[in-house]
A and B are shown apart, each in its own frame.
Chain A
């Protein structure tokens, strides 16, 4: 059955039961929980013992987190492999709108947040500027990777200082492995930049 009400839309079938809403917000605050979810999502499927082997937290904590994620519907038990329960991650988008400002928490954002202990700037941005600014800055770094904004514009648009903007750009580029294999620097010359279209033939160093 399809629903299209003010609060529920689905394309068919019975709506899945959503419980444990705190697990969604915990993904923002708890790097280990975010890391567990992100690991399952990036692997496609993962068993409990596999996850315990790669975790920085205790076996008990891993299984507690798996229960938390499963009860929220963020991961699904897809059966047993070699006697161990195997899980798959579910995509989600949690959208919050407050005073006409909307912020979406997605698996991509959670994946970056799971690295907050390796990159202290993530915590600094969250603590000093909040989740909305962090999400905005994250998306602007994606735009920077596409060449659509400058790092200074990221600072202007988010209110982050010049130093914090650079540190966050560096952290997100590292986490996402942007252009890790590209030759750098690329060299632009008047001959290879089209001033009308900004198309460019790049000479790699």
Chain B
């Protein structure tokens, strides 16, 4: 987060699984475009650890590799974070961890607006928690999120606002495959575009 630390407004881009799936595994030209766009937009891609796990391959010997993310992580333009979970047994939400409370709120909103309320997947909520976590940890930051689920895209704008963080926009890719062309661009990764 070097830009933010230097006093300039930093823009973080939080990206959901489906967007990486539409781009495909490394190496491919779509990931090359993404890397170039990230560099030009002076941003970074942020991913919750649960999303990393969701995209990972688990080898028989216990090794975990991620054909979508590892290359970008090694090069430093993709960052994986573990926002505090609300249900980890130590009462993060009750202790006032704002990201954990945001995660709880995400579960509630996704449940209440879904056609199948009991099936909300905690990975959906982890994206919301990460957004709020980044706001809580950094003063000069804006967040752009990228997903292919309408419900989640709306939750990603509503919930940070409820916690007082309004510098957030959510890009919703519909149909999901449209992300292949429109996500790895400077426009999609940049605020005010």
Interface positions of A (Cβ within 8 A of B) = 143-144, 147-153, 155-157, 162-163, 166, 169-170, 173-174, 178-180, 182, 184-190, 193, 195, 198, 200, 205
Once the chains bind, are A188 and B177 in contact (CB under 8 Å)? Answer: no
In the complex, number of A-B residue pairs with CB atoms less than 8 Å apart: 123
User: Does B65 have its Cβ within 8 Å of any Cβ on chain A?
Assistant: no
Residues of A within 8 A of B160 (CB): 190
User: Which chain A residue shows the least CB distance to B171?
Assistant: A185
Once the chains bind, are B175 and A180 in contact (CB under 8 Å)? Answer: yes
Closest CB in chain A relative to B110 CB, distance in Å: 7
Interface positions of B (Cβ within 8 A of A) = 17-18, 21-22, 54-55, 110, 113-116, 119-121, 123-124, 146, 148-154, 156-158, 160-162, 166, 168-179, 182-183, 187-188, 193
Residues of A within 8 A of B110 (CB): 150
Once the chains bind, are B161 and A185 in contact (CB under 8 Å)? Answer: no
Residues of B within 8 A of A152 (CB): 121, 123-124, 149
7 A–B contacts, CB within 8 A, in A order? A144-B149, A150-B120, A185-B178, A186-B171, A188-B156, A190-B157, A190-B168
Instruction: Indicate which residue in A147, A156, A195 contacts B151 across the interface (CB closer than 8 Å).
Output: A147
Once the chains bind, are B121 and A205 in contact (CB under 8 Å)? Answer: no
Once the chains bind, are B153 and A198 in contact (CB under 8 Å)? Answer: no
Once the chains bind, are A195 and B54 in contact (CB under 8 Å)? Answer: no
Instruction: Indicate which residue in B120, B150, B170 contacts A147 across the interface (CB closer than 8 Å).
Output: B150
Once the chains bind, are A153 and B188 in contact (CB under 8 Å)? Answer: no
User: Which chain B residue shows the least CB distance to A152?
Assistant: B121
Q: How far is the CA of A147 from the CA of B151 in the complex (A)?
A: 6
Once the chains bind, are B154 and A184 in contact (CB under 8 Å)? Answer: no
Given A186-B174, A193-B158, CB of A151 within 8 Å of CB of B115: no
Residues of A within 8 A of B169 (CB): 187-189
Once the chains bind, are B114 and A188 in contact (CB under 8 Å)? Answer: no
Given A148-B151, A185-B172, A190-B168, CB of A156 within 8 Å of CB of B162: no
Kindly name the residue among B148, B162, B175, B177 whose own CB sees the greatest number of chain A CB atoms within 10 A. B175
Residues of B within 8 A of A166 (CB): 17-18, 21-22, 176
Residues of B within 8 A of A149 (CB): 114-116, 119, 149, 151
User: Which chain A residue shows the least CB distance to B165?
Assistant: A190
Q: How far is the CA of A143 from the CA of B119 in the complex (A)?
A: 14
Once the chains bind, are A169 and B176 in contact (CB under 8 Å)? Answer: yes
Residues of B within 8 A of A180 (CB): 175
Q: How far is the CA of A149 from the CA of B111 in the complex (A)?
A: 10
Q: How far is the CA of A200 from the CA of B160 in the complex (A)?
A: 16
Other A-B pairs, 6, CB within 8 Å; known A169-B176, A178-B175, A190-B158: A148-B114, A162-B55, A180-B175, A189-B169, A205-B188, A205-B193
